[in-house]
Every structure is written in C-alpha cells, then in structure tokens.
Amino acid sequence: MNKFVSIAVLMAAFAAPTFACEKPAAPGSLPDGASAAMEDMMAAKKTVDAFKKDMEEYLTCEKSTAKAEAAHKELTKIADRFNAEVRAFKAKG
C-alpha cells in the first residue's frame, strides 16, 4: 500500500508543472515594416499569432484579475506594434 501511495504522490508531483498557469513571453522584437522583407513580416505574423494563442490560454487560467489585466494590456501592445509595422510595410508598396 505504501508503494502505491508513493507512486501516486510522485506522479502528482511530476504532473503539477503541467497544470501551472504560466504567462508566455512576448516576442523579443518585430521587424521594421518600412524596410522588412515579406518573409520577415510573415515570420513575425506567425510569432505574434502564436503569442496571441498562448496568451489567450493563459488568460483563461489566470485567477488574478490584476495579472490578467496586465497580460491583456501586453497582448494589446504587441498587437498594436505589429499592426503599425504591417501598415508601414504596406505603405512602402
């Protein structure tokens, strides 16, 4: 019986990190839309989209209202920055 309990405790201990609600890291940098190549902009779009998806998952599990609001502001800031670079990219023709 002790062996079964020990195994159950170990399994729970190793599974706990998968249940953690961890805030994703924002993209380190975004390309300058005025001078970036299409490939750079598409790669940045994939990165921003992945960040958005990860952040939305984080927001569903975060219990702290203050942390959730800060994360939402960060997501909005990244999205706004990326959209500004997309506009600059499109403006250069």
Q: Which residues contact residue 55 at a Cβ distance below 8 angstroms, ignoring those fewer than 6 apart? A: 23, 24, 71, 74, 75
**Residue pLDDT, tens place only, 47-68:** 999 999 999 999 999 999 999 9
Tell me the pLDDT of the chain averaged across its residues: 86
What are 18-37's pLDDT values in tens digits?
457 999 999 999 999 999 99
Percent of the chain with pLDDT over 70: 80
For residues 2 and 26, the model is more confident at 26
The pLDDT assigned to 49 comes to: 98
